[in-house]
Amino acid sequence: MKHIFYLCIIFFSLTNTCFTQTRKENTIVINKNEQNINDLLSTIWEESQTYISKGQVADYIPELSKANKNLVGIAIIDNKGKLYTKGDTQNKFTIQSISKVIALMIAVNERGESYIFERMGYYGTNAPFNSFDEIQTQNKPLNPMMNAGAIVTTSLILGKKEEAYLKILKMIRFITKNESITINQAVYLSEKKTGNRNRGMFYLLKNYGLFEAEDEESLNNYFRQCSIEVNAEDLAKIGYFFAHDCTRFDGDKTYYNPEMSKLINSIMLTCGMYDYSGEYSRKVGFPSKSGVGGGIMGVVPGKYGIGTFNPSLDNHGNSVPGIYIMESLSKKLDLSIF
Ligand code: DON
């Protein structure tokens, strides 16, 4: 009996020691990973500075030309909802074309995928974001990420006057859990005043009967959605949402919909970076969406949501340091989905 008692004590103390060591080891590994990601972000952030001079701030919307070219922010949220940041992740900028994925989600939820895609294609593109070409050859836009497709998408969201824009704003606030997000009125008015190319497109699309519109309110809603101000952390949270079947970063499943994230991610992969999408897909390898405000939102399915910010753009309308950051993160963390 005594022997059994001593054997039990030896067994329990041994297993307990092992357990403590394993736990300690795990803790070290977890902390080490956190440290690794923070170190990696610092290195990539430093390196990205050399790319600032290679691009230009957008000035075709006059108000955008006021952006500070030297700001660089990187935000990543891992699959447990933990946020890592480096640099200017609190600085606000207008979401611009990144809003197109939110508008698409709302339009598809309301009308169904086939209704929306009878009025635009699933094609990629070799033309810039503001191209008219595809409308003339196909009688409808190539895809919902180009301006033409995005104007149709927003015009198909149900509701009068500002309602479509307000739905988009509400959805962005929900996904980011950030009620302070709102419109930059100066950018909106600047876009509205100078956006004659988009206005011309709006009337051409209306001419083809792709949507009904009594006035320019749905075009204004497109301008409004582009003028919503976010920061890099907000973009990482939107990325997380589409990386996790439309689950919010805190686990909220109100809009849980794996089919929706599959649709949005596949569209982003083929045309989210416009006529750079093919090369981006080879070099970065995960769905992303850029905006001329300087943001890029990245989706690593099942893993990370990524947001980058720097307003120095290349001739595709994508941030040059932002592309460098996405490429480096993809290589260093092995994030390509291929
Ligand atoms: O319609 C426009 O031109 C802008 N509001 C949005 C364009 C945009 O963000 C293109 N993305 N890189």
Kindly state the helix (H) or strand (E) to which residue 85 belongs, with its residue range.
strand 83-87
User: Comparing C-alpha atoms, which of 258, 222, 261 is closest to residue 238?
Assistant: 261
Residues 6+ away with beta carbon under 8 Å from 246: 105, 255, 256, 257, 258, 260, 261
Give strand pairing partners of 299: 305
Query: In this predicted structure, which of 4-8, 70-74, 80-84, 154-158 has the lowest mean pLDDT?
Result: 4-8
Is the pLDDT at 101 greater than 60? The verdict is yes
Is the pLDDT at 29 greater than 80? The verdict is no
Residue 100 appears among annotated catalytic residues? yes
Provide DSSP, 264-326: HHHHHHHHTTGGGHHHHHHHT-S-EEE-TTSEEEEE-TTS-EEEEE---B-TTS-BHHHHHHH
57, 63, 168, 292: residue to mutate for ligand 1 pocket, most atoms within 8 A of CB: 292
Specify the pLDDT at position 23: 38
The whole-angstrom separation of Cα 313 and Cα 63 is 15
Q: Is the CB of 221 under 6 A from ligand 1?
A: no
Give the whole-number percent of the chain exceeding pLDDT 70: 91
254-309 pLDDT per residue, tens: 999 999 999 999 999 999 999 999 999 999 999 999 999 999 999 999 999 999 99
User: What separation in Å is there between the alpha carbon of 283 and the centre of ligand 1?
Assistant: 23
C-alpha distances in Å from residue 67, one per residue of 74, 180, 233, 292, 309 = 17, 21, 18, 11, 11
Pick the more confident residue, 140 or 3: 140
Specify the pLDDT at position 21: 34
Q: Is the CB of 101 under 6 A from ligand 1?
A: no
Instruction: Kindly report the protein residue whose alpha carbon is nearest to atom 12 of ligand 1.
Output: 291
User: What separation in Å is there between the alpha carbon of 34 and the centre of ligand 1?
Assistant: 35
Q: Tell me which DSSP letter residue 162 carries.
A: T
Q: Is the CB of 291 under 6 A from ligand 1?
A: yes
Q: Is the CB of 147 under 6 A from ligand 1?
A: yes
Q: Is the CB of 220 under 6 A from ligand 1?
A: no
- Mean local confidence (pLDDT), 81-94: 98
Is the pLDDT at 24 greater than 70? The verdict is no
User: What separation in Å is there between the alpha carbon of 127 and the centre of ligand 1?
Assistant: 14
Instruction: Kindly report the protein residue whose alpha carbon is nearest to atom 11 of ligand 1.
Output: 291
Specify the pLDDT at position 3: 58
Specify the pLDDT at position 12: 45
Residue 188 appears among annotated catalytic residues? no
Query: In this predicted structure, which of 43-47, 87-91, 166-170, 210-214 has the lowest mean pLDDT?
Result: 210-214
- Mean local confidence (pLDDT), 202-217: 95
Backbone φ, ψ for residue 299 (5° rounding): -125, 115
For residue 33, name the pLDDT band (cuts at 50, 70, 90): confident
